[in-house]
Amino acid sequence: MSPAGPVRELRAEHLRYEAGGRLILEDVSLTAPAGRALAVSGPSGSGKTTLLLLLAGLDRPAGGRVLLDGTAMEDGTARHACAMMLQSLGLVPILTAVENLAVPLQARRLARADIEERCARWLEALGLGSLGEKMTQELSGGQRQRLALARALALDAPVLLADEPTAELDAASRSLVVDLLVREARRGRIVVVATHDEEVGAACDDHLRLVEGRMGR
């Protein structure tokens, strides 16, 4: 099964972003082609999360632009092509694991059988197959992190943006997630990962380093 809707390239051109009178990003450009995984690394406060939010169209830059196959990310169709795993995870604690996956799929009016298949497939892929009926608040930090990634993957969007997807994981789970992200890129997705994890950076095809909101050398 391939990701929904073919895409070729996600591009950011000379992004600038300010918040609270402080410059967060300055003149950041990147190209992320389909079929390759891009790691964005840098110390805390370097602008990694802000960059992913701009790439997803969840925030707007003060300067520059984000394009998906030439279409501005402000366009609703382009935004719809992106799925993002937030660093804060954004899970609903009073829902079960499978319900957290199902809610965004229901919002897209998918058929019930399709929703059930996607939930089962991605819970299993992330090693959570036996935990679908567990309340999210009962899961460990690493399990919740994998659940948030499963929710993003279940959307089957052609662009996958993941913010620190391995921060809470043990070695085995980290390897599972890294292998999965690379495999999804090989299947034709655009994959961009913000990370402190050297294993993730080494596994990705391309690497962008941020230093105080600017592209490092």
Token readout for 125 is 């892929």
Report whether pLDDT(158) > 50: yes
Gap between the Cα atoms of 194 and 197, Å rounded: 9
pTM of the predicted model over 0.85: yes
- Domain spans of the chain? 9-81+157-215
22 three-class SS: strand
DSSP state string for 64-131: EEEEETTEETTSHHHHHTEEEE-TT----TTSBHHHHHHHHHHHTT--HHHHHHHHHHHHHHTT-GGG
Gap between the Cα atoms of 72 and 94, Å rounded: 36
Span between the terminal Cα atoms of the chain, in Å: 38
Gap between the Cα atoms of 194 and 211, Å rounded: 13
Report whether pLDDT(1) > 60: no
What are the tens digits of pLDDT across the range 184-197?
999 999 999 999 88
48 and 194 Cβ atoms separated by less than 8 Å: yes
How much is the pLDDT for 168?
Answer: 83
Q: State the CATH architecture for 9-81+157-215.
A: 3-Layer(aba) Sandwich (3.40)
